[in-house]
Amino acid sequence: MLKNNLQIAAIQFDIKWESKLENLKVIEEKINQITEVDIILLPEMFTTGFTMQAKKFSEDMDGKTVNRMKLWAKKLNSAIGGSIIISEGSSVFNRFVFVTPDESIFFYDKRHTFTLAGENKYYTKGNNLGIFEYKGWKICLRICYDLRFPIWSRNKYNYDLLIYVANWPKKRIQAWDSLLKARAIENMCYCLGVNRVGKDQNNKSYPGHTTYYNYLGDKVAQSKKNKSDVINFTFDKQEIILCRKKLKFLNDIDNFTIQ
């Protein structure tokens, strides 16, 4: 079903360290307060925080978290998306899972594992594109550190909506703000960044800054800083179509191949 207006809500919250049950409970309480949206977004590793205990906390795609997402999506008639730890064979991925009300599942495996924290030692680097269509919108999924690598998100595929979920620390939050805006401008798309708040077991602080930008880099919605929050906004497909017809910058992008 094609929708010109896409309503999105992002849940910014303090992820309890390596506590799946507690985090699922918090999310469920917040989700029950949301009505009439098309998509609900959650941060990176929303059930555990940014843990390197990959094998210990991994699930498969028929595990408890994905099944809970299916229940939420069906109950609210809204797609649910966020990143969790998923195992496939001997590999463990930081996977952005997107579940629709009819139980269709789209996903993206984080390509740029965060070497500064040793993520590359415990998680397998993804290689799938993470682009799909939902309700007539072409959506591109990305995770945290991917934000620093613009070529990987370059809009060769005419997507409308670019979504980053993250555990992005306070110390480098200015980069988060600047890079999200840049990705929106250079790709002429709506760009959403969903971050967490609170402090994790590694003493890293997270200030939130969940933010939505339009196709010209204008900030259209932002969360409260350092607080749990639900951020809502309605995106207009016709606006982006008209802007791209007038400003045909995407027609001039360079051809390239990613190795």
Active site residues: 44, 110, 144
CA distances for 68 relative to 125, 197, 218, 230, angstroms:
26, 23, 35, 20
CA pair distance 20, 201, nearest whole angstrom: 15
Extended beta strands in the chain, E state: 5-12, 39-41, 79-88, 91-99, 105-109, 131-134, 137-143, 161-165, 190-194, 197-199, 205-207, 211-213, 219-222, 229-236
CA pair distance 9, 42, nearest whole angstrom: 9
Amino acid present at 150: P
Residue 219: count of CB within 10 angstroms of its CB: 13
Residue 160: count of CB within 10 angstroms of its CB: 22
- What is the helix (H) or strand (E) element at residue 176, kind and residue range? helix 173-187
If you search the block for the tokens 């990143």, which residue do you land on?
83
Number of helices followed by number of strands (H, E) in the chain: 6, 14
